[in-house]
């Protein structure tokens, strides 16, 4: 049975899994590159917009310097820019009613065929519920097929990896349906939906293609590279603690908003997880994907790229969330963005 499966995988199915493995690696690398380029372009655009606004603001109200016989300096322009960044929403209270959620700038509609994909017309609840439902169902199907076709080739670390990914997608689906209170005014584009579907689809596909590809290349020797029971237990515990911490953080964030669907007021989050950092749910997400990487069959290039993609995106989002808190709440306490004493 074992020899037959290995022979079949090497002779007939290896080219398919090898091609799929390379496609997944190219997709993840392209995603990282595109995300970095998009965020860089967005930062440059915001800087230019702030600069133009500062110049207009200085031109419209020159009395503060001309009335006392002074000329405006570059220092005053810089202070104007800082003031524009902080004055509109900075309030001394712990409640605010922002137009958008943290790290979610508004964009003008494009319209037409392109606008159908990039304009924001889909609610956040529909987007994330669809993404998590797809991720859970797709991974369940992939797991069932792999167990049915290649159960004799699976080791303990790979079986645990499939189980933890299934638990992660299932928990996120449960939270989007019962815990999370989405901003009713915020909208996402169809492109966001397709990207989220592609993320979870590529995640499950990468796990399978990497393992079976390396297995076929190694002639079955990769099955010997299993983890000890103690290491498997440690990975399971790390995943459990991070999942509980993220779920607790999501409940705290959900409790900040009013239960009324028409109320979008927001407050400063407090709790043991928010005492040191502004985005503990992102830190827990990184720990979860670190356990996925530790359980992956080595060398798993695709999951390394998945982990890098998650780290890059969540670090950027944590920084934007932290900046949003500083701009929105004047009395925001001193906290790190994502990792205490580091970032």
Query: Which tokens is 208 given?
Result: 């399978």
Q: How much is the pLDDT for 50?
A: 54
- Stretch (H or E) spanning 187: strand 187-189
Which of 149-181 are b and which e, b meaning 16 or more Cβ less than 10 Å from the residue's Cβ? Answer: ebeebbbebbbbbbebbbebbbbbbebbeeebb
Q: Quick: pLDDT tens for 38-55.
A: 777 766 666 666 555 544
Q: How much is the pLDDT for 45?
A: 66
Instruction: With a cut of 50, say whether residue 298 has pLDDT above it.
Output: yes
Q: How much is the pLDDT for 6?
A: 52
Identify whether the C-beta of residue 13 lies closer than 8 Å to the C-beta of residue 5.
no
Helix (H, G, I), strand (E, B) or coil at 6: helix
CA dist 220 → 11, 84, 85, 151, 231 (Å): 13, 62, 59, 13, 22
Q: How much is the pLDDT for 175?
A: 94
Q: How much is the pLDDT for 109?
A: 57
Matching residue, tokens 């993320």: 199
The DSSP 8-state label assigned to residue 91 in this structure reads B
In the chain, alpha helices (H)? 2-8, 14-60, 63-66, 74-86, 112-118, 124-150, 156-178, 190-217, 229-256, 280-295, 301-328
For the segment 332-341, the average pLDDT, to the nearest whole number, is: 91
CA dist 258 → 57, 96, 124 (Å): 36, 12, 17
pLDDT band at 63 (very low <50, low <70, confident <90, very high): very low
Instruction: With a cut of 50, say whether residue 67 has pLDDT above it.
Output: no
Tell which wins on pLDDT, 19 or 97.
19
Distant-in-sequence, close-in-space partners of 57: CB < 8 Å, separation ≥ 6: 80, 84
Count of alpha carbons within 13 angstroms of residue 149, beta-carbon side: 12
What's the rounded Cα separation, in Å, for the pair 176 and 171? 9
Q: C-alpha dihedral over 67, 71, 73, 77, to 10 degrees?
A: 40
Nearest Cα neighbor of 249 from 313, 171, 132 is 171
Least confident of 12-26, 117-131, 302-316: 12-26
Instruction: With a cut of 60, say whether residue 319 has pLDDT above it.
Output: yes
For the segment 257-262, the average pLDDT, to the nearest whole number, is: 52
What's the rounded Cα separation, in Å, for the pair 234 and 228? 10
Identify whether the C-beta of residue 342 lies closer than 8 Å to the C-beta of residue 336.
yes
Q: Can you give the length of the chain in residues? A: 343
Instruction: With a cut of 60, say whether residue 68 has pLDDT above it.
Output: no
pLDDT band at 87 (very low <50, low <70, confident <90, very high): very low
pLDDT band at 224 (very low <50, low <70, confident <90, very high): very low
């Amino acid at each position: 049975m074992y020899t037959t499966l290995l022979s079949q995988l090497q002779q007939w199915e290896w080219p398919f899994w090898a091609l799929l493995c390379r496609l997944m690696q190219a997709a993840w690398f392209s995603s990282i590159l595109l995300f970095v380029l998009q965020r860089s372009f967005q930062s440059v655009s915001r800087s230019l917009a702030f600069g133009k606004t500062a110049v207009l603001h200085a031109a419209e109200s020159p009395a503060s310097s001309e009335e006392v016989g002074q000329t405006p300096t570059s220092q005053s322009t810089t202070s104007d820019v800082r003031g524009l960044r902080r004055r509109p929403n900075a309030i001394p209270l712990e409640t605010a009613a922002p137009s958008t959620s943290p790290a979610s700038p508004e964009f003008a509609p494009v319209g037409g065929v392109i606008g159908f994909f990039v304009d924001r017309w889909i609610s956040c609840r529909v987007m994330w519920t669809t993404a998590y439902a797809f991720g859970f169902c797709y991974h369940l199907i992939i797991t069932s097929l792999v167990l049915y076709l290649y159960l004799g080739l699976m080791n303990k670390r790979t079986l645990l990896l499939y189980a933890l990914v299934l638990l992660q997608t299932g928990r996120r689906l449960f939270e989007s349906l019962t815990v999370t209170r989405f901003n009713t005014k915020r909208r996402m584009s169809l492109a966001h939906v397709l990207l989220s579907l592609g993320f979870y689809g590529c995640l499950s596909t990468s796990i399978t293609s990497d393992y079976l590809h390396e297995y076929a290349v190694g002639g079955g020797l990769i099955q010997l590279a299993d983890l000890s029971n103690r290491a498997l237990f440690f990975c399971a515990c790390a995943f459990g603690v991070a999942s509980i911490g993220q779920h607790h953080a999501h409940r705290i964030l959900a409790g900040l908003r009013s239960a009324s669907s028409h109320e979008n007021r927001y407050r400063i989050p407090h709790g043991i997880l928010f005492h040191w950092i502004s985005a503990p749910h992102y830190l827990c997400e990184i720990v979860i994907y670190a356990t996925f990487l530790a359980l992956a069959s080595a060398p798993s290039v695709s999951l390394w790229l998945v982990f890098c993609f998650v780290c890059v995106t969540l670090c950027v989002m944590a920084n934007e969330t932290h900046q949003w808190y500083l701009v929105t709440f004047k009395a925001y306490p001193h906290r790190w963005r994502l990792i205490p004493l580091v970032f």
